Amino acid sequence: MTTYKGINGFAVQSVASDPSPLDEGQVWYNNATYAFKLAGINAAAWSSGGNLGTARYQFTAAGTQSAAVATGGEIQPGSTVSDSTEEYDGTSWAGSGNLPTGTRGQGMSGTQTASLIFGGVISTGLTNATASYNGSTWTAIPATMNTSRQNIAGIGTQTAALGFGGVTTVGVNSTESYNGTSWTAVNNMNTSANGRGGSGIQTAGLAFGADLTPGLSGATESWNGTSWTAVNPLNTARSYVGSAGTQTLALCFGGQTPTPTGATELWNGTSWTNNPTGLATARRLLASAGTQTSALATGGGPSGGGTTNATEEWNGAAVATKTITTS
């Protein structure tokens, strides 16, 4: 009779608890639960999270999947520019301190307890204002951007941020760096565009997707702290996307193609790969946060118009324990 030991040269390990960390393909017998087990790969997928308290779009978020903050945006109907802030704990959203001024289309960086917003649109038009958040209260700070614009992408931390792209009356390619005190204009992007996504930190970032007006683009650019370099584009040209991750491990989801999409793509530092499944609610102008393996998508403008308060959580492919059965 063929045995596992005869094929592999060793017997299945018998243990009282499941091993950690796991290696893909690892097999063992748990003698406490009387079960044979295997370390296999769970497919990457989106799942439903807790709904936002207020449906909105053209707003921003920062933090992680289980500790995020979202703020500003536009509320429909009526096109009201919002000043409200909500925090997410991995299960539900709760209201927090209001912005100094209702703002939409701003850039954002940082964490749930230490974040920064900059630029955007207020009731009187484009702004170059900056405000900081301490986990409960927003404070307007003296530092202003050199260029007022909306739909600006933001990456980094509260005291080391990078803002790039966006639109004044046309798409722009200007980039600005924030050091915790002031904004400084640095080298421009290769392409002027509106509605970009961004991931990474102030010295190592990635920009992707673009509204070129006319036309959409999947253009991707990599930032090394000094200059931008064009790299391989998204598979699906789009703008107003959700984004998460780093310069070398990024996630792009949702956006406008020109209709709202739920398409999800992963960046490995060289190229983008389509994920078989996308967001359950296709949407553009959504808020996003997190990493390539653990991201958050919330709000936005779905197909058919209006806004949504739906939140979805992304869990990337990972090694997980599976029980071996005879069925």
3-class state of residue 8 by DSSP: helix
Q: Name residue 172's amino acid.
A: V
Q: pLDDT at position 16, please?
A: 84
The CATH number of domain 45-315, selected from 2.40.50.100, 2.60.40.1250, 3.80.10.10, 2.120.10.80: 2.120.10.80
Q: What is the dihedral of CA 72, 77, 80, 84, to 10 degrees?
A: -40
Tokens representing 130?
Answer: 């900056």
Q: From first to last of the 327 residues of the chain, give the pLDDT tens digit.
A: 555 455 454 577 888 888 877 666 778 678 878 786 666 566 789 999 999 999 999 999 999 999 999 999 999 998 999 999 999 999 999 999 999 999 999 999 999 999 999 999 999 999 999 999 999 999 999 999 999 999 999 999 999 999 999 999 999 999 999 999 999 999 999 999 999 999 999 999 999 999 999 999 999 999 999 999 999 999 999 999 999 999 999 999 999 999 999 999 999 999 999 999 999 999 999 999 999 999 999 999 999 999 999 999 999 865 546 677 765
Lay out the sheet containing 242-245: strands in order across.
242-245, 250-253, 264-267, 272-274
Instruction: Give the closest residue to 162 by CA, choosing from 170, 153, 172, 150.
Output: 153
The ranges assigned to domains in the chain are: 4-42, 45-315
How many whole angstroms separate alpha carbon 253 and alpha carbon 98?
28
Q: pLDDT at position 186, please?
A: 98
Scan for tokens 């699906």, then name that residue. Answer: 236
User: Could you write out the DSSP letters of every residue in 205-246?
Assistant: EEEEEEE-SSSEEEEEEEE-SS-EEEEPPPSS--BS-EEEE-
Q: pLDDT at position 320, please?
A: 46
Q: pLDDT at position 41, please?
A: 60
